[in-house]
Chains A and B, each alone.
Chain A
Amino acid sequence: MSAALDIALCALILGVGLATVVGRGVFRAVIFFITYGLLLAIGWARLGAIDVALAEAAISAGLTGALLLAAQGRLRTMKTEAEPPARARLPAALAGLSVACVLGWAWFALPVDQAPDLSQVLPESGVGNPVTAVLLNFRAWDTLLESVVLLTALVGVWMLAQDADWDAALGPRFHARPNGVLANFGRILPPIGLIFGVYLVWAGADDTGGAFQGGTVLAAVILLAMMAGALQPPSVAHPVWRVGLVLGPLVFVLAGIAGALLSDGFLTLPLTIAKPAILTIEAALSLSIAATLALLVIGPPDDQGQDA
């Protein structure tokens, strides 16, 4: 019975993935991509990787989906030719196919190092969730770079702004009728989302959850509040938002330097303070991830809607 379910799930994932790539029209591809992310999340959950499933659903299907939808909406309002010319299709397909082939080859060709048994070293990490132990202790270097990549992506998006718009508020202007459906939705859901996001970060130390999943939920709360008109998108120079954006990577780097000075090396956490240190880094990181992801979706400063 469960084998039948898994086979059906695999077929669905492959089918929807194919539909994302070969279907015509940007909007259709984006919708299929979101569906693909949700199905993949169910797949991860079936494999028992609940942390990955949460991240897949929140970041890949939810947030990346929203990013792609926003990009598609922008293309439509700019009346840009969204459909690539027919002669670009074959080279694009070939390029995609070769990347897939190289990745597939690497999967088989690269030697598999014998990974240390995580259950043996887990007590040395200070936290009970093996995923959090890897992300913030054993492989903290990767996570630090990831948080910097997010920040760089946001700066890259801001670079797309026109000079005249630079001081304007970020993103398009959202219209929500006061006391309309969206305005009410934007008042009811954020408190629940706040609790859930903070819970995911807090629970991530010993249970399923973590900074990225919780941060994405918080980003969704910020986005909803902005779209419902409860929160105004800031300008690039807004000091509080700037502090929020760099807080996570900053705390992370400071913790790393403290490890280099007081302990064995950069980003090493001695067991006695590992748990409080990890929780502090995670809390700061979640704030920054939430702010960065939300502002990524909101987009570059844009003066266009100011008159409306």
Chain B
Amino acid sequence: MADLATYALTAIGLVFFVAGTAGLIRFPDTFSRLHALTKADNLGLGFIVMGIGFQTERWSQLAVLLLIWALALLAAGTVAQLVARAALTTGKDE
């Protein structure tokens, strides 16, 4: 049962990662690429963390996984803001 949940949740997570990567490659400018990356990948990582969470043996391992996700969310959100501002001020779409 736990294995089944892991398969399903990590598979959903991977779909989001694929979608985010497709967006990164296909979208036309910096801002929409950032949008694809941060939204889809953060969600995908969340699903993968949930999936792996079913394999943990102790609560502390689950806490570490959740901490990783929270830190990744924080870093991705901040970096996206900074990249967007840099793109805005230099005015380059690359």
Contact = CB atoms under 8 A, between A and B. Distances in A.
A172 to B, nearest CB: 15
A181 B71 contact: no
B32 interface: no
Contacts of B71: 189, 192
Contacts of B75: 185, 189
Contacts of A122: none
Interface residues of B, number: 7
Interface in A179-222: 181-182, 185, 188-189, 192
A181 B79 CA distance: 9
Interface in B59-94: 71, 74-75, 77-78, 81-82
Contacts of B74: 185, 188-189
Interface string A63-83: 000000000000000000000
Contacts of A181: 77-78, 81-82
B63 to A, nearest CB: 13
A88 B66 CA distance: 49
Contacts of A185: 74-75, 78
A189 B78 CA distance: 11
A62 B78 CA distance: 17
A125 B81 CA distance: 48
Contacts of A182: 78, 81-82
A15 B48 CA distance: 26
Interface string A222-244: 00000000000000000000000
Interface in A132-186: 181-182, 185
A188 B73 CA distance: 13
A200 to B, nearest CB: 14
A223 to B, nearest CB: 14
Contacts of A189: 71, 74-75
Contacts of A188: 74
B81 to A, nearest CB: 4
A189 to B, nearest CB: 7
A192 B82 CA distance: 21
Interface in B27-68: none
Interface centre among A181, A189, A192, by most B CB within 10 Å?
Answer: A181
Nearest to A185: B78
A47 to B, nearest CB: 21
A189 B76 CA distance: 13
B70 to A, nearest CB: 10
A39 B75 CA distance: 20
A185 B75 CA distance: 8
A188 B71 CA distance: 10
15 contacts: A181-B77, A181-B78, A181-B81, A181-B82, A182-B78, A182-B81, A182-B82, A185-B74, A185-B75, A185-B78, A188-B74, A189-B71, A189-B74, A189-B75, A192-B71
What 6 A-B pairs have minimum CB-CB distances, sorted nearest first?
A: A181-B81, A185-B78, A181-B78, A182-B82, A188-B74, A181-B82
